[in-house]
Amino acid sequence: MSLIEVKAVSKIYRVSDEVETVALDQVTFSVEKGEFLAIVGPSGSGKSTLMHILGALDVPTSGSYRLDDQEVGDLDEDTLAEIRNQKIGFVFQAYNLLPRTSALKNVMMPMIYGGIKVKEREKRAKQLLSQVGLADKLNHWPNMLSGGQQQRVAIARALAMTPAIILADEPTGNISGQQVTEIMDRLNQLNQAGHTLLIITHDQEVAGYAKRTLTLKDSRLVADNVNGRQR
């Protein structure tokens, strides 16, 4: 059994009675614990849709998605929310931090839902923020931080519940240069510590960190390469 098993997954968005968009078309792959994958492909090829399904934020229209041997499409909303909280850490391109809320409180947030006591929440959030080099920015609101710093807060928040899987949708989309290297080094360390990592990216440098690359095109999985070789 693999950690992630995606079989013939399709996602069709019904925009109106006449208009349907096939965002994913019969996608099949599996991911073992501890892998580091890049998901690449042109804009509109279905990358974010796939990420939402993998993250249990959405369910396939058809096909099967098994996470830890559980069929995600069969789970009720409460169980899905619990899986998102316990097993999955999300990092989004737009950071999705709460505005007018300190870095510390942003990182503590998932632990509230995770039922962690307040003292422990604060302790862990401080540790996580120091690990991403933000020990001196605990009380800063997002708008007082640079893009790279906000992204590091988002990474710290994604790690709050020590998730087995980290899903990042263009985590370097709004930053550049040295900041990209910092974010990628941090994500790489997390992978080496045992977290399974899936990163959507447009950036060749970023994709270069991953050992395996899935390529989507026109809603289909058209390549699955490990170290440059087709699997």
Interacting residue ranges for Mg ion, rule: CB under 5 A: 47-48
Nearer CB in complex with ligand ADP: 48/151: 48
CA dihedral sign, ordered 130, 193, 90, 72: negative
45 binds, among ligand ADP, Mg ion, none (CB under 5 to 8 A by kind): ligand ADP
Q: Which is nearer to Mg ion, 47 or 186 (CB)?
A: 47
Those residues whose C-beta lies under 8 Å from the C-beta of residue 183, and which sit 6 or more positions away, are 148, 151, 152, 155, 171, 172, 175
16 binds ligand ADP (CB under 6 A): no
- Assign 3-class secondary structure to 11-47: EEEECCCCCEEEEEEEEEEEECCCCEEEEECCCCCCH
CB of 55 to ligand ADP, least distance (A): 13
- What distances in angstroms separate CA 205 from CA 28, 173, 216, one per listed residue? 26, 12, 18
Closer CB to ligand ADP, 41 or 142, in the complex: 41
Distance CA 223, CA 231 (A): 8
Give least dist CB 79 to Mg ion, A. 26
55 binds, among ligand ADP, Mg ion, none (CB under 5 to 8 A by kind): none
Q: What is the dihedral of CA 91, 4, 212, 199, to 10 degrees?
A: -10
The residue whose Cβ lies closest to Mg ion is 48
8 Å CB contact between 52 and 227 = no
Least distance CB 35 / ligand ADP (angstroms): 20
Considering only 2-10, 15-23, 154-162, 183-191, which stretch makes contact with ligand ADP by CB under 6 A? 15-23
13 touches which of Mg ion, ligand ADP, none (CB within 5 to 8 A by kind)? ligand ADP
Map the footprint of ligand ADP across residues 40-99, applying CB under 6 A.
41, 43-49
* Cα of 62 vs its chain's centroid, Å: 22
Give the binding site for ligand ADP (CB under 6 A).
Answer: 13, 15, 21, 23, 41, 43-49
